[in-house]
Structure 1
C-alpha cells in the first residue's frame, strides 16, 4: 500500500470540524508521567494532543512535577495523584475514575524509574487493559515492560514507540536474533509480543504489526524530518499517536464516520499518520531555526504540518 493510500484511510479517522460534535467527542487524551526531574516530557505529549486537535488533555503525574507542568499551559488538566506516600488502593480508585473519562492513555513520558512511579504505571496499564483502552508506551514505560513482557503481550490495542537504543534493548529482551535483517526486526518484535504495533523510530520510521498466521503488515515512513534530533521530539510523536488513537476510539464508538475501517487497523493507521505529521512538523521547525531548533519550536508547526499532510479542510481552515 502506498503512503497516499494509507493516509486516505487515516483521514477517515479524523473528526469532522462542522459543528456536529460536542466537547469531548474529538478525543479525550491522557498521559501518565512526570516525576521530580521530568516535567517537559509529559507536557510535550499532552500539549501536542491539543495542537493536533484533541478536545481535552490530562496529565497524571507526581505532585513534585505538577506545579511546573501547570505553569507551562493552562489548557492542560493536571492530576497530581501519584504520591509516593499515598496508599495504592486510594491511587487505584482515583486512576480508575480518571481513565473512565479518557479515550486513550500514553504511559512513559517523564515517568522515570523510581519504584513508586513504575508501580503506578503498571497499575494504570492494568486498569486501562481492563477497560480495553488504546495505549501508547514510550520512554521508561518501555523499560518497564522489558522487565515484565506479559504486561502487554497479546494486547493489540497498544503502540510501542522505541527509539534506536530502546528498540535494541527490547529486541534483545524478546529474543530476536541481532543478525536478522534490520527491516524485519520490528515485525519480529511485534510477533514475539503477540501482535502489538511497533513504531521503530529512526532515520526512517518502521511501523509493523503481526496479525498472526504468518500475516504481517509493515510500513516505512521516510518523509523528510528535521536534521537535528533533540530531547522531546519523541514525546511529541507519542502525543500524536495517542491523539490518533483517541480519534479511532471515537470512530469505533460511532461518534462519526461509517465504521468501515476495522478496529484491528487503528494502531497501524494511528502510528503512520502521527509519524508523517510529526516528521513534517520537525522539518518545518528546522527550516526556520536550523541548528538552534528545540522541541518547543515544533509546537506551533503541528497544526500547519497537519494541514500540509491532510489538507486544509481536515484542519478546519475556512
Structure 2
C-alpha cells in the first residue's frame, strides 16, 4: 500500500477549541529533557515551538549551565536546572537517582515528554535520560525522541522497544543508524517501506523518517508529507518539529480524556501518527514561508514567527488541500 496523506477532518478532531470554559494547562503541558552548557538553543527551539503552536505550559529540564541561558531567551518557559553532566555531578552532591526523581516529580503536571534536544552525549546525561524515559513509560506518557535521544536509543533500543506511545524523529543519518541497531538493511530503492519496517522492528513505535519527503509510520500505516518546504537546511528545524509534534500529542491526550466535547470517533491508536504528520506539515509550511521572506539569510528563529500563521492557514481557514 503506497504512503498516503491523512484526512484533515481527523486531524481537526484532536485540536482543542479556544474556549473560555477551558482552564490553564488543558491545551497542553509539555516537558523537554535536554539542554547542556554547549547546547542551549535546541531545547529553547523545541519548547518555544510548543508555546507558539498553542500549548499552555512548557517545562525544560536541563543542566544549570544551560538553565540561566534558556531563562534569558524567554520568560514563557519554565526552566528546571535538574540535570548534571559527569563533570558536575560530584560537586552537586546529587546521585543519578536524585536527578531522575527530581524530573519525574514534575510528571504529574505534564502530558508529553520530549527527550534529546541539546542533551549532549555525556554519559551521565544519557543515563539520566534513559531512566527518565523509563519513568515516563510507567506513567503511560507520550514521548518524542530526537537528536541525542536517538543516539541513546541507537545504543539501547530496549528503551523504547514495544512502547507504542513513543515517536522517533530521525534524520537521514540517524535513520540509517537506527536501522543498523535493529539489524535492518537500509535500501534507498525501498525508501517508502523503510519507516514501516523500522517501526515494526521497534514493536510499533511511530517513526518519522525525515527527508526530501517525510514518511511517518506506526508499523501498520504509512503517511507521507511531501509539501514544499524551504531550500536552506540550517540546524534547529528538527527541534522545532519535536515541539510541534509534542503539542499535537498533548492535544491528543486531551481528546482522549474528554477535556472538550467531541464526537469521539477517532481511535487512540491513530493519534501518534496524525500528530507526527501534522508536525511535519506545519514545519514544512513554516520553512517555506520563512525562506520566501529571507532567502539565504533565513534563520531557524525566523521559522518560529511562522508557526501561528502556518497553523491558521492549514487548519483554521477551511483549506481543503493539506
Same fold (TM over 0.5): yes
Which residue of structure 1 aligns with residue 134 of structure 2? 126
- Contact preservation (8 Å) 2:4, 2:224: no
- Contact preservation (8 Å) 1:307, 1:313: no
- Contact preservation (8 Å) 1:7, 1:273: no
Q: TM-score, normalised by structure 1?
A: 0.94
Matched, 1:298 2:308: no
Unaligned runs of 5+ residues in structure 2 are none
Q: How does 1:255-266 map to 2 (within 5 A)?
A: 255-256=259-260, 257-266=262-271
The structural deviation recorded for 1:119 is 1.1
Which residue of structure 2 aligns with residue 59 of structure 1? 60
- Structure 1 stretches of 4+ with a deviation exceeding 6 A read none
Matched, 1:225 2:229: yes
SS of the residue 2:218 aligns to: strand
SS of the residue 1:206 aligns to: strand
Matched, 1:278 2:288: no
d(CA) in 1 for partners of 2:226 and 2:49? 21
- Contact preservation (8 Å) 1:11, 1:310: yes
- Map Cα deviations across residues 170-203 of structure 1 (whole Å, 9 max, x no partner): 1111111233611111110001000000000111
SS of the residue 1:288 aligns to: helix
d(CA) in 1 for partners of 2:160 and 2:279? 22
Which residue of structure 2 aligns with residue 307 of structure 1? 312
- Contact preservation (8 Å) 1:82, 1:91: yes
Q: Which sits farther off after the overlay, 89-98 or 121-130?
A: 89-98
d(CA) in 1 for partners of 2:200 and 2:62? 32
Matched, 1:244 2:245: no
Q: TM-score, normalised by structure 2?
A: 0.93
SS of the residue 2:289 aligns to: helix
- Map Cα deviations across residues 7-29 of structure 1 (whole Å, 9 max, x no partner): 22111101100212100000001
> Per the alignment, do residues 57 and 313 of structure 1 end up closer, same or farther by CA in structure 2, a change over 3 Å counting?
farther
The structural deviation recorded for 1:89 is 2.7
The structural deviation recorded for 1:96 is 1.7
SS of the residue 1:181 aligns to: helix
d(CA) in 2 for partners of 1:77 and 1:275? 25
Which of 129, 143, 146 aligns to 1:135? It is: 143
Q: CA-atom RMSD, angstroms? A: 1.4
Which residue of structure 2 aligns with residue 45 of structure 1? 46
